[in-house]
């Protein structure tokens, strides 16, 4: 692919930090470019999923999970991104810096939506609604109205209401490239598999096979059009190797950190 047609990367970063040898972090870079780098990585996970991984709910059964390695890798990546966002919002002891980071992530989420990266967008929204983050009353009070409105709009788009009706409409209105939210497809496939017998009167249930085919074909259709974006290593390194955390175990750590930042019943925090 001819990279000359790719959009020019946005490489703005604090010069003073670089001059003083202070390590840069994800908050030092432009929101759109961070979203682009997250999208490049997410698409790598998405395009590796094979049709054979999507049959028989193999991703959900311990004995057959080895058949759905790429599906499980994408699910793990989403969980890791969500925990990472929570962790970085909670990290600062001072409320103003927490609010600043939260706002930065909201602006990145907005750019993810503009890039049709519904997968990583859902991971960000899961972080914003994680109990360790959502309870941060004083942090959220410092968010600009624009950020609050953006979160509300994104949550409406990705709402589970009506079996993700608004999200499905948004996806089908979008011009590829897109990265769909995989969870809706897996739910659809599970519903089809559980709700329809494999055979009827001793014959293969072709109606069930056609329903499954339509879902798999849609997944593949978004694998056929990739993103024309350049990897920017100085940013990609911050978002590629996100630590893997066990969500259940680490969730309690995040909540304890949240309580330390904003104790229950506190009337004010610094």
- Which domains are present in the chain? 8-243+255-261 (1.10.840.10)
Q: Which pLDDT value is given to residue 17?
A: 75
Give the separation between CA 187 and CA 168, rounded to whole angstroms: 13
What three-state secondary structure class fits 64?
coil
Inter-CA distances, 170 with 47, 157, 237, 269, Å? 20, 7, 31, 40
Give the separation between CA 81 and CA 111, rounded to whole angstroms: 16
Q: Which pLDDT value is given to residue 39?
A: 98
Q: Which pLDDT value is given to residue 267?
A: 86
How many other C-beta atoms are found inside a 10 Å radius of the C-beta of residue 173? 8
Q: Which pLDDT value is given to residue 247?
A: 74
Residue 164 gets the label, from left (phi > 0), alpha (psi -120 to 50) or beta, of: left
Say what the alpha-carbon torsion angle 50, 159, 97, 249 is, to the nearest 10 degrees. Answer: -60
User: Which residues of the chain fall short of a pLDDT of 70?
Assistant: 1-5, 15-16, 18-20
What three-state secondary structure class fits 232?
coil
């Amino acid at each position: 692919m001819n990279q000359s047609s790719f959009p020019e990367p946005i490489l703005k970063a604090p010069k003073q930090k670089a001059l003083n040898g202070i390590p840069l972090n994800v908050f030092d870079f432009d929101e759109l470019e961070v979203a682009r780098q997250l999208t490049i990585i997410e698409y790598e996970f998405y395009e590796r999923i094979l049709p054979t991984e999507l049959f028989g709910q193999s991703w959900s059964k311990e004995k057959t999970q080895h058949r759905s390695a790429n599906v499980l890798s994408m699910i793990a990546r989403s969980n890791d991104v969500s925990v990472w966002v929570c962790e970085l919002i909670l990290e600062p002891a001072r409320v103003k810096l927490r609010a600043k980071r939260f706002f930065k992530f909201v602006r990145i989420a907005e750019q993810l939506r503009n890039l049709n990266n519904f997968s990583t967008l859902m991971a960000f929204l899961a972080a914003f609604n994680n109990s360790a983050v959502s309870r941060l009353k004083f942090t959220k009070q410092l968010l600009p109205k624009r950020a609050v409105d953006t979160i509300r709009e994104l949550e409406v788009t990705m709402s589970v209401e009506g079996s993700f009706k608004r999200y499905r409409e948004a996806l089908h209105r979008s011009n590829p490239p897109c990265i769909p939210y995989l969870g809706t497809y897996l739910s659809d496939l599970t519903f089809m598999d559980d709700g329809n017998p494999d055979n009827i009167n001793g014959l293969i249930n072709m109606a069930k096979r056609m329903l499954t085919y339509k879902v798999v074909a849609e997944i593949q259709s978004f694998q056929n059009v990739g993103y024309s974006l350049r990897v920017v290593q100085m940013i990609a390194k911050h978002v590629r190797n996100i630590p893997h955390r066990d969500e259940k175990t680490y969730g309690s750590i995040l909540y304890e950190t949240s309580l330390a930042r904003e104790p229950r019943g506190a009337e004010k925090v610094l």
